[in-house]
C-alpha cells in the first residue's frame, strides 16, 4: 500500500471543520500543529505598530494514495481556499516509506481494496 502526505496550512478556527471533512473523505487520522505563522501575497496588517495576525494551524494527514486527491479537494472546498484569498493552502507529497500505520491498513484495505 502506498501513501501520500497532505499538508494544509489553515486558519485555526477552521481546523476542526477541515479535519472532519478530511475524515469524511477517507483520512484515518491527523497531526495538528498549533500557532504557525505565515504570510501570503499581501503583507501583514499593522495597527499602531502591532502586527495583526490570524493564527494558523498546520494539519498533516498520511493518507492512502487512492484517497489523497479526493481528500485534498474536500479540504480545499470546505476551507474555501480558492474562493477566498488568504484562507489557507494545501498540498500533497509522495511518501517513500511509512511505519506505524499497520493498524490502519486493515481499515484502508476494505475501503480501497479494489483499487490497490
Q: What is the pLDDT of residues 21-38, one digit of tens each?
A: 999 999 999 999 998 876
CATH (domain of 78): 3.30.70.120
| Continuous H helices in 25-101 | 65-79
Residue 44 lies in a domain: no
- Are 58 and 87 contacting, i.e. CB atoms less than 8 angstroms apart? no
Domain span at 16: 3-39+49-112
Residue 104's pLDDT is 77
pLDDT in tens, 49-102: 666 566 789 999 999 999 999 999 999 999 999 998 888 999 999 999 888 877
Residue 72 is predicted with a pLDDT of: 97
State how far the Cα of 42 lies from the Cα of 95, in Å rounded to an integer: 32
Q: How many domains does the chain have?
A: 1
Amino acid at each position: 500500500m502506498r501513501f501520500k502526505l497532505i499538508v494544509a496550512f489553515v486558519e485555526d478556527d477552521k481546523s476542526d471543520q477541515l479535519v472532519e471533512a478530511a475524515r469524511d473523505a477517507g483520512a484515518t487520522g491527523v497531526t495538528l500543529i498549533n500557532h504557525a505563522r505565515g504570510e501570503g501575497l499581501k503583507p501583514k496588517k499593522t495597527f499602531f505598530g502591532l502586527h495583526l495576525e490570524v493564527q494558523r494551524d498546520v494539519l498533516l494527514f498520511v493518507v492512502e494514495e487512492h484517497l489523497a486527491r479526493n481528500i485534498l479537494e474536500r479540504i480545499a472546498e470546505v476551507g474555501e481556499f480558492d474562493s477566498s484569498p488568504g484562507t489557507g493552502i494545501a498540498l500533497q507529497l509522495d511518501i517513500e516509506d511509512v511505519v506505524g500505520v499497520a493498524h490502519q491498513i486493515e481499515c484502508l484495505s476494505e475501503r480501497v481494496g479494489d483499487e490497490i
